[in-house]
Structure 1
Amino acid sequence: MKHLNNDEKIRGMFKYVIFVTVSEEMSIEKLQEAIMQRLNLGEFRTDTVKNNAHIISDWWNEKKCLILLDEVCQTIKLDEVMVIRSNQNHIKVVLASRYPHICSRMDTDVEIKVEPFSPDDAWKMFKKNVGKAISNSDIQAKARLLVAECHRFPLVIDVVSKTFKKNQTDLTLLDELLKSLQRWDSDRIDGIGEMLDRLKVCYKCLKDEEKDCFLYGALYPAESMIYVDYLIECWRAEDFIRHAEEFRNARSGGHKILCELIELSFLERTAKTKYVTMNKLFRKLALDILSQKDNKYLAKPWEGLQEFPHPENVTKQVRSR
């Protein structure tokens, strides 16, 4: 989906290419807002879905537009997002989903099944991330066992390989990493929960301050743009940055932690250099970890809270997570 978004030939075919990651909390209103912001129609947005649908449809009229909807996890009624007229065949929509029934419910014209990595592709990706150290025969033997435990999931391969690279001289830690991955039942890897369990293994390899800073990212909505300077200041205020009494040292330490989390893929850089984002699967990981320990975090995205919820609701929310 990102290749489609960035491909020059594709961009040459359309006046606008709009990329939206559809989070679990995404609503018709939020999707309309994302499209209207991309089309610079934010100032015309109204309080009703119906009016906004007409504004979107009227605006692009004969303009060729490609809408890319990534990580769709529930059926989207496109005729509610925008008024679909019979003569608007210049508007194309491509969606990606883990759930085949969503494609049929949305009446797609063409469906393409994306196969998992081949064993050879998985190994190539792992080698590329680890670098020259993979040529060592002892390290390569452990690496091949780790790749097998990643079950050809690109995200898991990416994180495990970068964790491997960071700790490649610590053979004891690598053995523990492998044992932890082998502990999970490979027959149940299709579930998101199983993938989270594998990512937890890499989370445990982080330093304590890196863990705290990563978990703090769960307070932001999935895939949202997080302003780096503000994020580091929040880390400093929460006392996550160890041994940094002076402001300058705290800023330097915060950037070091940020770079480490980005290097290991727990956070991602965005097109805007002063912002980062957290993949929604990693946010699930953070929320899952937080739900299993005593913590002071409360995450209820898109709720528009103006005051702290009643204690009973907080308890229910934490348990549901």
Structure 2
Amino acid sequence: MGEIRTAHRIAHTISTALHNKKYLLMLDQVSEEIDLKELGIYDSHSDGKVVVATRYKSVCDKMNMDDSWELEHMSERDALVLFRQIAGEAADYERNKHEAKRIVKECGGMPLLINAVATYLKSEENDEVWSDCLWKLQSSTYDDDLGPFSESYNVFKLVYDRLNDYRKKCFLYGALYPLDHLIYEDHLIECWRAEQFIPATEGSNTGQDGRNCIAVECHLHANNKLRTEDMSLYKTRTRSC
């Protein structure tokens, strides 16, 4: 009961502080319905705005927002700019410009995929590597319907195939965690060591190296945490009330 009273008191304090004030509250990566009243956000706050970013349309519907927008993928122009920034000057070589545009198109305007492929090709001057990369991205190497992962499968496979054996094990271990699960880096590294994926006596550089190998699949957050994500994050719905 004490915790309930404290929560109500905090909500009341927030509501009083925001009354008749203009404010913007942004809630990112919302995975389930949030009762805004429990946070002290009431309908009487006519000058306040709340923006909710979520990958689930059902969350928006349950929260009864006023307006909704589905965020689009990056335009081809912006995607190419991002790709060139990451890939470096090799993307501007005359012999690679055509492949660069086609490679970016295969990434479908998704920043995570563009970053992965551009990093793969960073400072790579061999035009055969660029041509081979494009060929691999365009090749259908799977038979089953992978749902929202289908359009990104070839990018992930491209990066995965380039990993050494222990990095592949670390990558796949990270895939065992459920969606939206928070993982502490130190704990994950200890798990890798327990599984003998990385030497137990090796320093933190090995942990950093292993963490980098799952960066394509896990989004690195502050406070030394990882959060597993799926590709639909980049088809975010945003609503305001």
Q: TM-score, normalised by structure 1?
A: 0.56
Cα deviation 1:259-280 (Å, max 9, x = unaligned): 4544xx44444333xx141341
Cα deviation 1:204-239 (Å, max 9, x = unaligned): 332221121122223445445533333222211111
1:195 equivalent to 2:151? Answer yes
Q: State the partner residue of 2:27.
A: 69
Give the percent of matched residue pairs that are identical in Structure 1 and Structure 2.
Answer: 29
Q: Is the 8 A contact 2:167 2:210 kept in 1?
A: yes
Q: Which letter maps to 1:157? A: I
Rate the CA distance shift 1:159–1:173 in 2: closer, same or farther, 3 A: same
Rate the CA distance shift 1:223–1:55 in 2: closer, same or farther, 3 A: farther
Rate the CA distance shift 1:77–1:268 in 2: closer, same or farther, 3 A: closer
Q: State the partner residue of 2:119.
A: 162
1:181 equivalent to 2:137? Answer yes
Q: Is the 8 A contact 2:220 2:226 kept in 1?
A: yes
Q: Is the 8 A contact 1:53 1:83 kept in 2?
A: no
Q: Which runs of 5+ in 1 are unaligned?
A: 1-43, 185-190, 285-321
Paired with 2:193 and 2:30, the residues of 1 have a C-alpha distance of: 36
SS in 2 for 1:108: coil
Cα deviation 1:75-116 (Å, max 9, x = unaligned): x26367557644344654211245667545533233344332
Q: Is the 8 A contact 1:218 1:283 kept in 2?
A: no
Cα deviation 1:245-269 (Å, max 9, x = unaligned): x61x25432333324544xx44444
Give the CA RMSD over aligned residues: 3.8
SS in 1 for 2:230: helix
Matches within 5 A, 1:25-44: none
Judging by fraction of residues, say which structure has more strand.
Answer: 2
Cα deviation 1:263-303 (Å, max 9, x = unaligned): xx44444333xx1413411799xxxxxxxxxxxxxxxxxxx
Q: State the partner residue of 2:184.
A: 227
SS in 2 for 1:278: strand
Q: Is the 8 A contact 1:156 1:198 kept in 2?
A: no
Paired with 2:48 and 2:3, the residues of 1 have a C-alpha distance of: 20
Rate the CA distance shift 1:220–1:151 in 2: closer, same or farther, 3 A: closer
Q: Which letter maps to 1:203? A: Y
Q: Which runs of 5+ in 2 are unaligned?
A: 141-146, 234-241
Q: Which letter maps to 2:226? A: T
Deviation at 1:171, TM superposition (A): 5.7
Cα deviation 1:126-182 (Å, max 9, x = unaligned): 00111122232233332222111112122221222222227x356665444322321
Deviation at 1:68, TM superposition (A): 2.8
Equivalent in 234, 249, 270 of residue 221 of structure 2: 270
- The one of the two structures with greater contact order (alpha-carbon pairs below 8 A, sep at least 6) is 2
Rate the CA distance shift 1:89–1:55 in 2: closer, same or farther, 3 A: farther
Paired with 2:211 and 2:220, the residues of 1 have a C-alpha distance of: 10
Q: TM-score, normalised by structure 2?
A: 0.71
Equivalent in 139, 144, 152 of residue 109 of structure 2: 152
Q: State the partner residue of 2:193.
A: 236
